[in-house]
Amino acid sequence: MAERQRLFAPVGEKEITRAIVDEFSKEFLDYVTSDVIVVGGGPSGLVAAKDIAKKKYKVLLVERMNYLGGGFWIGGYLMNKVTVRDPGQKVLDEIEVPYKEVSDGLYVADGPYACSKLIAATCEAGVKVANMTMFDDLVYRENGRVAGVVVNWTPISNMPKEITCLDPIALEAKLVIDATGHDAYLISRLAKQGLYNKLPGHGSMWVEKSEDALVEYTGEVAPGLIACGMAVNTAFGLPRMGPTFGGMLLSGKKAAEVAIRRLQEQARA
């Protein structure tokens, strides 16, 4: 075969492997301790992580799947239009997602467009992501204060214990946010240890009650642990809201405000 001019730089396998290992290790080592760890990369967790990072805090987002976005790609019943009720569209404005007003106070956007813009805005704010990483447990300090999370690779967590028997590792943070959705994994862990009242689980659908209540109840559920998104509905027995996302977006914003206030208080103490 005749030698042709190369299009790509003359870089081989070993350089590519070194680049991946080197950059991953450096970042992972740096994020062994953060200001805030957000567990769950759905709409509420993404907004919370983005807003906290925009204030120059160090934020790690832990997500068990390979991809971020949670339920925000699809509106409902496998149809990829997402709705928000006023004032949820203000968050769409902020991340420059186009939408249509379909009736007074109800807006529709394309799920893939809205979700990918939110992910991009979160990364641009400086949030680092540990994907394929599964929450396993909490790290505690004196008086039951939450001071980090214990995690493992998602594939390992899903293998039978008799095969793996592989210990997880711990990541420390000044604050942790439970944005794991319907299952509220972090708060459930507290409840199992008797450090939180039994979880009532979320109630049935009632849009007009649930979104207001979700934003109102978003906040610190235990020292060092903030809840946002559907985890709040599960923790407080609030009704669900189904395929509309304004509550999730504004819950993420409120969680960020609470976190920033706590970080400022900690810095003053």
Residues lying near ligand 48F in the complex (CB under 6 A) are found at 39-45, 62-65, 70-72, 134-135, 179-181, 183, 185, 229-230, 241-242, 244-245, 248
Is 52 or 179 the residue whose CB approaches ligand 48F more closely?
Answer: 179
Find the shortest distance in angstroms from Cβ 147 to ligand 48F. 18
Residue 241's Cβ-side half-sphere holds a number of Cα atoms within 13 Å equal to: 29
Is 35 or 63 the residue whose CB approaches ligand 48F more closely?
Answer: 63
Find the shortest distance in angstroms from Cβ 251 to ligand 48F. 7
Q: Are 52 and 259 within 8 A, CB to CB?
A: yes
Is 21 or 67 the residue whose CB approaches ligand 48F more closely?
Answer: 67
Write the DSSP string, 142-158. GGG-EEEEEEEEHHHHT
Is 241 or 260 the residue whose CB approaches ligand 48F more closely?
Answer: 241
Find the shortest distance in angstroms from Cβ 238 to ligand 48F. 11
Q: Quickly tell me which residue has 């949670």 as its tokens.
A: 70
Is 231 or 260 the residue whose CB approaches ligand 48F more closely?
Answer: 231
Q: Quickly tell me which residue has 């997500």 as its tokens.
A: 63
Is 45 or 265 the residue whose CB approaches ligand 48F more closely?
Answer: 45
Give the pair of three-digit tokens for residue 100. 């249509």
3-state secondary structure of 82: strand
Find the shortest distance in angstroms from Cβ 32 to ligand 48F. 17
Find the shortest distance in angstroms from Cβ 165 to ligand 48F. 20
Rounded to whole angstroms, how far apart are CA atoms 35 and 259?
Answer: 10
What are the residues whose beta carbons fall under 8 Å from the beta carbon of 59, sequence distance 6 or more? 34, 35, 36, 37, 38, 49, 52, 53, 126, 127, 128
3-state secondary structure of 227: strand
Find the shortest distance in angstroms from Cβ 131 to ligand 48F. 9
